[in-house]
Chains A and B, each alone.
Chain A
Amino acid sequence: MTAPSSSAAEVRFVSVAKRYGAGPTAIESLDLTIRRGEFITLLGPSGSGKTTALNLLAGFQEPTSGQILIDGEDVSRLPPHKRNIGLVFQHYALFPHMTVRENIAYPLKQRRVAKAEMARRVDDVLRMVSLEIFADRLPRQLSGGQQQRVAVARAIVFEPRLLLMDEPLGALDRKLRESVQLELKRIHRELGATVVFVTHDQEEALVMSDRIAVFNAGRIQQVGTAEELYDAPETQFVAQFLGESNCWVGEVSPNNDALCTVAGACREIAGQRTPRTPTSGLAAAIVRPERCHVVARTAAIEGWNSVPGRLREVVYLGSQRKMIVDLEIGGSAVVTCTPDVVLPSEAAVCVRFPISATRIVPAS
Chain B
Amino acid sequence: MGGQLLSGGVMGTAGKARLPFLAGIDRWWLVALPVLAFLALFFVYPSATILLRTFTRFDAPQVGGLDNLVWFFSRDANRAILLRTFVVAGLSTVLTSLVAFPYAYLMTQVRPAVRTLMFGVLLVSMFFGILLRNFAWVVMLQMQGPLNDVIAALGFERQRFLGTMPAVLMGMTHVLFPFMVLPLYAVLRGIDTRLVLAAESLGARPARAFWDIYLPLSLPGFIAGALLVFVLALGFFITPAVLGSTQQSLLSQLMYAQFYRQAAFGRAGAMALVLLVATVAALVLASALSKRSRAYEATP
Q: Chain A residues near B261: list those with CB within 8 A.
A: none
Asked if A93 and B200 sit within 8 Å, CB to CB, the answer is no
Residue of B200, B213, B217 touching A81 (CB-CB under 8 A) = B200
Alpha-carbon distance between A201 and B195 when the two chains are bound, in angstroms: 25
- Proximity bits, A70-108, B CB within 8 Å = 1, else 0: 000000000111011111010101011110000000110
Known: A93-B195, A97-B217. A80 touches B294 (CB 8 A): no
Residue of B201, B205, B216 touching A97 (CB-CB under 8 A) = B216
Asked if A154 and B202 sit within 8 Å, CB to CB, the answer is yes
Interface centre among B192, B201, B205, by most A CB within 10 Å?
B201
Range for the number of chain B residues in contact with chain A:
20 to 34
Known: A96-B217, A97-B295. A110 touches B203 (CB 8 A): yes
A111 at the interface (CB under 8 A from B): yes
Alpha-carbon distance between A140 and B192 when the two chains are bound, in angstroms: 14
Residue of B198, B205, B294 touching A87 (CB-CB under 8 A) = B198
Asked if B294 and A81 sit within 8 Å, CB to CB, the answer is no
Alpha-carbon distance between A198 and B204 when the two chains are bound, in angstroms: 24
Asked if B297 and A140 sit within 8 Å, CB to CB, the answer is yes
B208 at the interface (CB under 8 A from A): yes
Alpha-carbon distance between A97 and B298 when the two chains are bound, in angstroms: 6
- Which partner residue on chain A sits nearest B197 by CB separation? A60
Alpha-carbon distance between A158 and B198 when the two chains are bound, in angstroms: 14
Residue of B192, B200, B213, B216 touching A80 (CB-CB under 8 A) = B200
Q: Chain B residues near A140: list those with CB within 8 A.
A: 297-298
Alpha-carbon distance between A111 and B294 when the two chains are bound, in angstroms: 25
Alpha-carbon distance between A97 and B213 when the two chains are bound, in angstroms: 8
A128 at the interface (CB under 8 A from B): no
A58 at the interface (CB under 8 A from B): yes
Residue of A83, A86, A89, A138 touching B194 (CB-CB under 8 A) = A89
B206 at the interface (CB under 8 A from A): yes
Give the A-B pair count, Cβ closer than 8 A: 73
Asked if A110 and B208 sit within 8 Å, CB to CB, the answer is yes
Known: A81-B206, A95-B195. A87 touches B201 (CB 8 A): yes
Shortest distance from the beta carbon of B252 to any chain A beta carbon, whole Å: 38
Shortest distance from the beta carbon of B183 to any chain A beta carbon, whole Å: 18
Shortest distance from the beta carbon of B108 to any chain A beta carbon, whole Å: 17
Q: Chain B residues near A111: list those with CB within 8 A.
A: 203
Within 8 A of A (CB), among B36-72: none
B199 at the interface (CB under 8 A from A): yes
- Which partner residue on chain B sits nearest A60 by CB separation? B197
Asked if B201 and A95 sit within 8 Å, CB to CB, the answer is no
Shortest distance from the beta carbon of A314 to any chain B beta carbon, whole Å: 34
Asked if A81 and B297 sit within 8 Å, CB to CB, the answer is no
- Which partner residue on chain B sits nearest A157 by CB separation? B202
Shortest distance from the beta carbon of B103 to any chain A beta carbon, whole Å: 24
Asked if A158 and B201 sit within 8 Å, CB to CB, the answer is no
Residue of B199, B203, B299 touching A95 (CB-CB under 8 A) = B199
- Which partner residue on chain A sits nearest B191 by CB separation? A96
Alpha-carbon distance between A60 and B212 when the two chains are bound, in angstroms: 19
Alpha-carbon distance between A95 and B198 when the two chains are bound, in angstroms: 9
Q: Chain B residues near A138: list those with CB within 8 A.
A: 294, 297-298
Alpha-carbon distance between A97 and B216 when the two chains are bound, in angstroms: 8
Residue of B195, B203, B216 touching A84 (CB-CB under 8 A) = B203
Q: Chain A residues near B204: list those with CB within 8 A.
A: 81, 106, 110
Alpha-carbon distance between A79 and B205 when the two chains are bound, in angstroms: 9
Known: A60-B197, A93-B192, A93-B194. A107 touches B294 (CB 8 A): no
Of the A-B pairs whose beta carbons lie under 8 Å apart in the complex, a sample of 24, sorted by A's number, is A58-B201, A60-B201, A79-B200, A79-B206, A81-B200, A81-B201, A81-B209, A86-B201, A87-B198, A91-B194, A93-B194, A93-B198, A95-B195, A95-B198, A96-B195, A96-B217, A96-B294, A97-B295, A106-B199, A106-B204, A107-B202, A110-B203, A110-B208, A138-B297
Q: Which 10 A-B pairs have the closest CB atoms?
A: A96-B298, A110-B203, A93-B198, A107-B202, A87-B201, A97-B294, A80-B200, A81-B200, A97-B295, A93-B194
Contacts A79-B200, A81-B204, A107-B202 known; list 9 others, CB within 8 Å. A60-B201, A80-B197, A81-B209, A87-B201, A89-B194, A96-B217, A96-B299, A97-B217, A110-B208
